[in-house]
C-alpha cells in the first residue's frame, strides 16, 4: 500500500473503531450526520482491508499458483478479522459495564494510613477486573497475535517466540477472566 494512502486511511480507521465503540455503547446520542460519517468510515476501512488483502496477498499467490500459501493467508486474515470483532465486542461490553458501575468509594483521605490506601486501590482494581468484556478483549488480542505469527504464509519467516508467548498469555488470561466473571455471576 502506498505511504500516502496509508497516511490517509489511518485516521479513517481510527475514527471507524471509535465510532463502532460509541455506536455499541451510546448509539442514541449519535446524531444522523455522525452516524452517516461513522458508517462511511467503517465501510471505507472494510474495503481498504479487503482491497489490501486482495492486492498484497491473494492476487500474487493466485498468479504464482501457491495454493497452500493462499489457503494459509486466507485463514490468517479470516481469524484476525474475527478476533478483531471479538475485541470490539468485548470493548463494547466493558464500556457498558463501566458506565453501569456503581460509583467508586471515596478516595481515602491523605492522612489515611498506607494500608488503607492500598486496600482501597486493590478493591478498585478488583472491581475493574470483574467487569465483563475485559476477558474477550484479551482473548481477541491473543488470537490476533497467534494468527499473525502462526499463519504466516512465507515458510522462511519464523514466528517470534515472544509474540507467541504473549498471545498465549493473553488468550489464557482472557479465558480465565471470562470464567472468573461467570463464576462470580453464578455465585451472586
* pLDDT single digits (tens) 124-143: 788 888 888 999 999 999 99
Q: Where are the domains of the chain?
A: 1-64, 66-188
Mean pLDDT of the chain: 88
In eight-state DSSP terms, residue 29 is G
pLDDT digits 0-9 by tens, 156-166: 888 899 999 99
More confident residue, 61 or 129: 61
Confidence of residue 106 (pLDDT cuts 50, 70, 90): low
Is residue 107 predicted with pLDDT exceeding 70? no
162 closest CA partner among 137, 144, 138, 145: 145
Where is average pLDDT lowest: 56-70, 118-132, 167-181? 118-132
- CA separation for the pair 169, 133 (Å, rounded): 17
Torsion on CA atoms 77, 82, 86, 92, rounded to nearest 10: 100
Q: What percent of the chain has pLDDT over 90?
A: 58
Is residue 111 predicted with pLDDT exceeding 80? no
CA 157 to each of CA 149, 151, 165, 166: distance values in angstroms, whole numbers, following the listed order: 9, 11, 17, 18
Instruction: Note the pLDDT of residue 100.
Output: 74
Confidence of residue 99 (pLDDT cuts 50, 70, 90): confident
Question: Which residue is listed with cell 504473549?
Answer: 166
In eight-state DSSP terms, residue 113 is -
* Average pLDDT, integer, range 68-95: 92
Is residue 104 predicted with pLDDT exceeding 70? no
Amino acid at each position: 500500500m502506498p505511504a500516502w494512502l496509508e497516511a490517509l486511511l489511518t485516521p479513517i480507521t481510527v475514527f471507524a473503531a471509535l465510532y463502532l465503540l460509541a455506536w455499541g455503547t451510546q448509539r442514541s446520542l449519535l446524531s444522523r450526520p455522525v452516524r452517516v460519517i461513522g458508517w462511511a468510515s467503517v465501510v471505507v476501512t472494510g474495503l481498504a482491508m479487503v482491497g489490501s488483502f486482495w492486492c498484497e496477498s491473494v492476487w500474487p499467490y493466485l498468479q504464482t499458483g501457491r495454493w497452500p500459501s493462499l489457503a494459509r493467508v486466507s485463514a490468517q486474515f479470516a481469524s484476525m478479522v474475527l478476533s478483531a470483532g471479538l475485541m470490539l465486542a468485548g470493548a463494547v461490553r466493558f464500556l457498558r459495564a463501566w458506565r453501569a458501575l456503581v460509583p467508586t468509594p471515596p478516595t481515602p483521605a491523605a492522612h489515611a494510613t498506607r494500608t488503607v490506601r492500598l486496600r482501597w486501590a486493590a478493591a478498585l482494581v478488583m472491581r475493574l477486573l470483574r467487569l465483563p468484556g475485559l476477558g474477550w478483549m484479551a482473548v481477541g488480542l491473543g488470537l490476533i497475535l497467534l494468527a499473525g505469527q502462526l499463519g504466516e504464509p512465507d515458510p522462511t519467516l519464523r514466528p517470534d517466540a515472544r509474540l507467541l508467548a504473549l498471545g498465549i498469555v493473553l488468550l489464557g488470561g482472557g479465558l480465565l477472566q471470562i470464567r472468573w466473571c461467570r463464576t462470580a455471576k453464578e455465585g451472586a
